[in-house]
Chains A and B, each alone.
Chain A
C-alpha cells in the first residue's frame, strides 16, 4: 500500500499567516502539509482556504491529536471528522505521531512519548489497524522529539517503529530534526539512530529548526534548519530513495518567500559527498526557553478578523 504513495517533492506546512499570499499568487511549491486539527472542525475561512489550496496543490493531512499511543479508547468522533475532511481535500496521505496526547478524556496538547515495550507495541499496533480500517488508507506515523525515556522501555525507537510498520503496513514519517533532538537529549548518536531506522517504510521526511540550550535541545520549529540536521537529511534522502520532504516552521513564522528559500536548501543536500560534521554542537540561544512542538499557530488569527460598526 505505501509503495503506491506518490513522491511529492519539496513541500511546506500550510500556515494561516501565508493564506492570502498562497491564494493570491499560487507560489511555486510542490505540495502543502496541513495540520488536520486546524481544518477538520472549521466552518469558516480555514476550511474554505484548504479546499481552494487542494484544488491547486497536492495536500497531506498531518495530525497532532490522534493520540495513537493513549490508553484511552480511540476517539471515533475525531476520526469521523478527519475522514470527512479527507473526503473533501483528497490528501495524498494522512499522518500523525507515535505519541499520546492525554488520558482520562483530557488532552495535554503535547506529543508525549510512549514507553517502548511489547505491551505498547501490541496496543499501538491494534489501534493503527483500526484507524487504517476506519480511514480506509494507510496511516503514516512520525518519530516524535522527546526529552525523557521510560525506564521500562525494552527497545529503541527505530526498532519499535520498524516492527510497527511491519506488523500493520503503516508508513513512517522520518523527522530528521526530531532524530537530532531526541538523540542529543538522550546522549545517543543520531547517525546510529538513522542506521537502525526502517527507511524502506519512510513515506515522508520532516525538516525543522530547533533551539539549542546547551544542556538540551528544544524542538521549537522557529528558526532555520541547523547544519547537523541537514547532514542527517542528506543521509535520509539517499536511504529513502528521495522521500517527499517538508519543512515545518511554526513559531516566529517568516514570509512565505523565506520559508520557501529555506526549504529549497534541501536541494543542496540531495547529492554530493557528506559534509564533515561539526566538531562540537554549540548552543545558539541564550534567551528564554522555547516551546517544544509549538501549537500557537494552530489558533488562527481569529481575533484579527473583526471590525466595529457605528451604532
Chain B
C-alpha cells in the first residue's frame, strides 16, 4: 500500500486490521500512511488506538461477565477476551452485542474439543455454562418486558395464561446461577461440583429474579416458552415424567403449587386464546 492518496476504503481496512491484529502491522506501512508529529511517531500514535481497542472491549466484557471474570481472574479473562475479539471481531453498533457469541466461542475453541466427553476438562464446561447464564441475564435486562401493564392473577383462566416477554429459561451442567449470585454478594465462591441445574429468569419492575426450578417444572415452562398453552405444558411434563396428565394438573393447581407461585412471581400475562374475541 502506498501513502499517496490511498483510497479511503484501503486506508480504513489497514487501520482496522492494525487494531484487531496488531502483530500483523508492518511498521513501514504505518510510516507511509501516518504522519509523525513532534510528540508521537506514527507507530506511537497507532499504538494508542491499539491499546485502547483491547482495553475498551475487555472493560465492557468484564461488566457483562462479572462471574466468569471472578472465576478466571481478570488477567486470564482479559486474555480470553483478546483471543475472542481476534477470532470474532465486534460486528454491531451496540456494545450490548459484544458478549453474544462468547459462550459459544469458549466451547468451540476449547483445546479438548475433539476428546470424548468423559475425558474433557470439567472446569471448561463450568466456564461455558457460566458465560451462557451471564449472557441470559444481560439479555433480559434490556429486552422488551411487561412493566407498566397488568399481569395475570389468580382469576385468570389457564387457557389465557402466557409467559410474559421478560422471561427466560436455562439448564446447565453446573449450578452457575448460585455461583453467580455468590460472586455478586461478594462471597468467596469456589468452583462448585457438577450438578444439573434449571432456572427461570423473570423481570418485573426492571429487576430480574433468578428462580431455581425442578426438572419437571423446567420442561413444563419450556413447553410454554415455545408458544404452548398450559394444556400443552401439562402434556409435556407428563411425557417427561411418564405419568398421567391429570397427576400433573393436580399438582399444578394445588394451593401452594406452581400455578399460584408463578402467578405471584409474575411469570404470566393474560391473553385471549387465538380465535376468540
Residues of B within 8 A of A101 (CB): 93
With an 8 Å Cβ cutoff, the count of chain A residues facing the other chain is: 66
Over the window 150-189 of chain A, the binary record of Cβ atoms lying under 8 Å from chain B Cβ atoms (1 yes, 0 no) is 1111000000000000000000000000000000111100
State the Cβ distance, A214 to closest chain B Cβ, in Å.
10
Over the window 300-311 of chain A, the binary record of Cβ atoms lying under 8 Å from chain B Cβ atoms (1 yes, 0 no) is 101111111111
Over the window 91-111 of chain B, the binary record of Cβ atoms lying under 8 Å from chain A Cβ atoms (1 yes, 0 no) is 111111000000000000000
Contacting pair A307 B207 (CB below 8 A): yes
How far is A184 from B52 in the complex, measured between Cα atoms in Å?
Answer: 18
Whether B189 is near chain A, meaning CB under 8 Å from some CB there, is no
B66 touches which of A150, A187, A303 (Cβ 8 Å): A303
> A70-B12, A149-B34, A305-B141 in contact; A109/B210 too (CB < 8 A)?
no
Whether B11 is near chain A, meaning CB under 8 Å from some CB there, is yes
Whether A224 is near chain B, meaning CB under 8 Å from some CB there, is no
Over the window 55-78 of chain A, the binary record of Cβ atoms lying under 8 Å from chain B Cβ atoms (1 yes, 0 no) is 000000000010100110001001
Whether A298 is near chain B, meaning CB under 8 Å from some CB there, is yes
How far is A186 from B40 in the complex, measured between Cα atoms in Å?
Answer: 7
How far is A103 from B91 in the complex, measured between Cα atoms in Å?
Answer: 10
How far is A90 from B73 in the complex, measured between Cα atoms in Å?
Answer: 44
Whether B44 is near chain A, meaning CB under 8 Å from some CB there, is yes
State the Cβ distance, B139 to closest chain A Cβ, in Å.
9
Residues of B within 8 A of A109 (CB): 53, 56-57, 60, 90, 95
Contacting pair A148 B42 (CB below 8 A): yes
Q: Which of A97-124 contact B (CB under 8 A)?
A: 100-110, 112, 114-115, 117, 119-120, 123
Number of A-B contacts (CB under 8 A): 215
How far is A74 from B63 in the complex, measured between Cα atoms in Å?
Answer: 29
Chain A binder among B113-121, B122-130, B176-184, B220-228: B176-184
Chain A: CB-nearest residue to B211: A309
Whether A261 is near chain B, meaning CB under 8 Å from some CB there, is no
Over the window 238-277 of chain B, the binary record of Cβ atoms lying under 8 Å from chain A Cβ atoms (1 yes, 0 no) is 0000000000000000000000000001000000000000
How far is A162 from B92 in the complex, measured between Cα atoms in Å?
Answer: 31
Residues of B within 8 A of A103 (CB): 9, 12-13, 16
Contacting pair A295 B56 (CB below 8 A): yes
Among A100, A117, A296: residue with most chain B CB under 10 A: A296
State the Cβ distance, B149 to closest chain A Cβ, in Å.
12
Residues of B within 8 A of A305 (CB): 141, 206-208
Whether A253 is near chain B, meaning CB under 8 Å from some CB there, is no
> A44-B143, A148-B45 in contact; A106/B8 too (CB < 8 A)?
no
Contacting pair B48 A215 (CB below 8 A): no
Whether B4 is near chain A, meaning CB under 8 Å from some CB there, is yes
Whether A218 is near chain B, meaning CB under 8 Å from some CB there, is yes
How far is A109 from B11 in the complex, measured between Cα atoms in Å?
Answer: 18
Among A115, A215, A303: residue with most chain B CB under 10 A: A303
Whether B46 is near chain A, meaning CB under 8 Å from some CB there, is yes
Over the window 168-198 of chain B, the binary record of Cβ atoms lying under 8 Å from chain A Cβ atoms (1 yes, 0 no) is 0000000001100100100000000000000
> A152-B3, A294-B56, A306-B184 in contact; A100/B64 too (CB < 8 A)?
no
Contacting pair B39 A215 (CB below 8 A): yes
Chain A: CB-nearest residue to B89: A106
Residues of B within 8 A of A218 (CB): 48
Contacting pair B93 A302 (CB below 8 A): no
Chain B: CB-nearest residue to A153: B35
> A103-B9, A303-B134, A306-B137 in contact; A46/B142 too (CB < 8 A)?
yes
Contacting pair A149 B93 (CB below 8 A): no
Residues of B within 8 A of A184 (CB): 39
Whether B154 is near chain A, meaning CB under 8 Å from some CB there, is no
Contacting pair A43 B11 (CB below 8 A): no
> A108-B16, A112-B15, A309-B211 in contact; A41/B94 too (CB < 8 A)?
yes
Residues of A within 8 A of B8 (CB): 71, 114-115, 117, 119-120, 123
Over the window 244-262 of chain A, the binary record of Cβ atoms lying under 8 Å from chain B Cβ atoms (1 yes, 0 no) is 0000000000000000000
Residues of A within 8 A of B7 (CB): 71, 119
Residues of A within 8 A of B210 (CB): 306-309
State the Cβ distance, A296 to closest chain B Cβ, in Å.
5
Which residue numbers of B lie inside 8 Å of A, CB to CB? 3-9, 11-13, 15-16, 19-20, 32-35, 37-40, 42, 44-46, 48-49, 51-53, 55-57, 59-60, 63-64, 66, 89-96, 134, 137-138, 141-145, 147-148, 166, 177-178, 181, 184, 201, 203, 206-214, 265
A-B CB contact pairs (8 Å), 19 listed: A41-B94, A44-B144, A65-B93, A106-B16, A107-B93, A108-B53, A108-B90, A148-B40, A148-B42, A150-B33, A152-B33, A185-B40, A185-B45, A187-B39, A216-B48, A291-B59, A307-B208, A308-B209, A309-B210
- Not counting A104-B13, A120-B8, A152-B4, a sample of 4 additional A-B residue pairs whose C-beta atoms are within 8 angstroms of each other reads A149-B45, A294-B59, A305-B141, A311-B214
